[in-house]
Chains A and B, each alone.
Chain A
Amino acid sequence: MFDIFFVQQLVNGLSVGFIYALMAIGFTLIFGVLNVVNFAHGEIYMIGAYAGWLSITIFAPPLFVVILIALAIGALAGFSLERIAFRPFRRFRDEASLKSKAMREATLLSSLAISIIVREVAEKIFGSNMQTIPQDYLLLTPIEIGPLSFASGQFLIFGLSIVMLGGLQWLLKRTRVGLAIRAVANNPMGATYVGINTERTIIATFVIGSTLGATAGLVVGLYQGAIFPAMGFAPGIKAFVAMVMGGLSSIGGAVVCALILGVAEAVTTSFFAQGWGDLVAYVFLIITLIFFPTGLFGGGRERV
């Protein structure tokens, strides 16, 4: 059980899991507030990675500036995404149409359409080949702790994820914006009645969620060194699975499930071929939907 190889895989899995967690939070926040699925989240991840790569290749700033640039671009992308793909479909303000099936499907499809467009445009501009981060920025310096060997990128992933998760908790629990987000997620009409600006809160949610997603993309780009237009698809789906497993609107649940998913994938990959590792997420998804339709950590919901 305490095989060195196994522990190594566990750590690798956790670092992948944190990436999924960062993305899953974006999904969860947006689902909580608007009750819709944002299919363009994977493209935000891709945009974050490209923002980092571009800033590195153009003017090679220090690492924390790269992170800040990616955060800013992610926030901007989230804002524009909300304006283009979600806002035009909120024509009516009453609760029935906000929660209606038509509205959910329309935004699901519009975010899908936007994600196709963004990905294809990126492919046209940067080509569909993998871009590589210059060697100086690749976080693959091995760090030995006893018999274990870690890449420095894994520490960045752990550190950054924990900082961002902590920051998010602080934001949601202690600031006005966070309180507004939680209020709108809980009851949009009630939030409007007590004077919360719902529109602004929705934009704030998208900005926060997209910032986290863009960070995830940037860190993966720095750590794995492979940046390509379709890179957001697989992690996006897996983060989505983590959100469903966690119970759709539970941030803690999503994070825990994302970590479980990352570890499960790493372990599967070490026993079977690489390709089958991807299957784990989908099998987890189906099993969760069949046996725990409300998610592993979800409270009681109406119907699924």
Chain B
Amino acid sequence: MRRKLSILVILIAVLVVLPGILVAVGGGYWFRVATTIGVFIILTMSANLITGTTGLMSIGHAGFYGIGAYTAALLATNLHWPFYLTLPAAGVVTAFFGILLALPTMRLIGIYFAVATLGLGEIIHLTLLNWVGFTRGPMGISAIPGIALDGLFSASDIVNYYAVALAVVVAAFALGRLTHSYYGNALRAVREDDQCAASMGLNVVRLKIQSFAFACFFAGVAGALWAHTTGYISPADFRFSESILILAMMVVGGLGSLPGAIVGAVILLGLPEVLRPIGDYRMIVVGAVMFLSILFLPRGVLGETSVLAVMRRQFGLAWDNVKHLGWRQ
């Protein structure tokens, strides 16, 4: 009961109240801001699955985001696929690349894994930049068809908002189920001590690859949404600094906490909009917020442990430690 009520409240907030507020404050521009925030919420939540829950620090997430965006853009412009096909296709292709690229790096831990993902992200960025015949290089891909269905709706800011909002809700639901379950606990065990987890019978490498694949899938979907909502992508959108921005969002929100990822994305992208007069100083604000939150809130705004309790109470997620103590509930 409580669970259905909480989900209903969230759906109403995202699909009715928030668009209402956006229309009230003037629509247009604010819808685009909300769309950007939504794309980054998906990115941060997906990166959070690898970095926060599984404990593999990924600083190349923008590369996978870029693969998704280019997949969707190329499919839509060259083969004229509609958005409802390019979105899942981008996710699947990105997940495939994620597995392919991550397989050899899976045995690395800690800083070595972080460095390897940095390398992968940069390799992807440089490939997008230099493979002019296929990706059109630094010119980018323009005139990507927007999110539209013949006879039902055509591309507009509001349609973009609803598409992204629905994707955010679906991603949050899927990632929430993944992280607040027996499976999520296994991932946390891998994070805390992978050798110990392996000796308890968990297949550590498989878990790591799976979480990487899930995260890459959603990063790809986020990329596809970005491509369709903005209509233009270039390699500059998928640089190392975007990976850092995603990382900063996770850290500010709280590593390993799904609502934290959402809050982090909203803070780091919303703050520069609120502080419009000093809008030029956006990245300085990002850096400062990141630094201060590491210093004073090492667990983030919404820390993982406190969020787990809320999730359990409000959504019936996670596990009930009285009734269902044990395996695979």
Contact = CB atoms under 8 A, between A and B. Distances in A.
A121 B284 contact: yes
A304 B119 contact: no
Contact of B126 (A104, A112, A278, A286): A278
Interface residues of A, number: 41
Interface in B186-219: none
B79 to A, nearest CB: 27
A120 B116 contact: no
A11 to B, nearest CB: 25
Given A106-B294, A110-B295, A113-B291, A286 B110 contact: no
Contacts, number: 105
A121 B283 CA distance: 9
Interface string B227-253: 000000000000011001001100100
A104 B291 CA distance: 14
Interface string B106-145: 0111111011101110110011011000000000000000
A112 B244 contact: yes
B111 A104 contact: yes
A37 interface: yes
B68 to A, nearest CB: 20
Nearest to A294: B112
Given A85-B291, A88-B295, 13 more contacts: A37-B111, A108-B57, A110-B295, A114-B287, A115-B287, A116-B284, A116-B290, A119-B283, A244-B112, A279-B123, A286-B104, A286-B119, A293-B108
A88 B57 CA distance: 22
17 contacts: A108-B111, A109-B290, A113-B248, A114-B287, A115-B287, A116-B284, A121-B284, A240-B115, A244-B115, A273-B130, A276-B126, A282-B122, A283-B123, A285-B119, A286-B104, A286-B123, A304-B109
A244 B122 CA distance: 16
A113 B294 contact: yes
A275 B130 contact: yes
A27 to B, nearest CB: 11
Interface centre among A112, A273, A283, A293 (most CB of B within 10 A): A112
A304 to B, nearest CB: 5
A237 B122 contact: yes
B284 A120 contact: yes
Contacts of A110: 291, 294-295
Q: How large is the interface on B (under 10, 10 to 19, 20 to 34, 35 or more residues)?
A: 35 or more
A289 interface: yes
Nearest to A106: B294
B281 interface: yes
B233 to A, nearest CB: 18
B288 interface: yes
- In the complex, the 6 A-B pairs of residues with the closest C-beta atoms, listed nearest first: A116-B287, A113-B291, A117-B287, A275-B130, A113-B290, A282-B119
A290 interface: yes
Interface in A14-42: 37
A101 interface: yes
Contact of B247 (A85, A109, A290, A303): A109
A275 B115 CA distance: 21
A39 to B, nearest CB: 9
Given A113-B248, A113-B294, A120 B283 contact: yes
Contacts of B150: none
A199 interface: no
Interface string A248-276: 00000000000000000000000001011
B95 interface: no
Contact of B112 (A102, A113, A289): A289
Contacts of A109: 247-248, 251, 290, 294
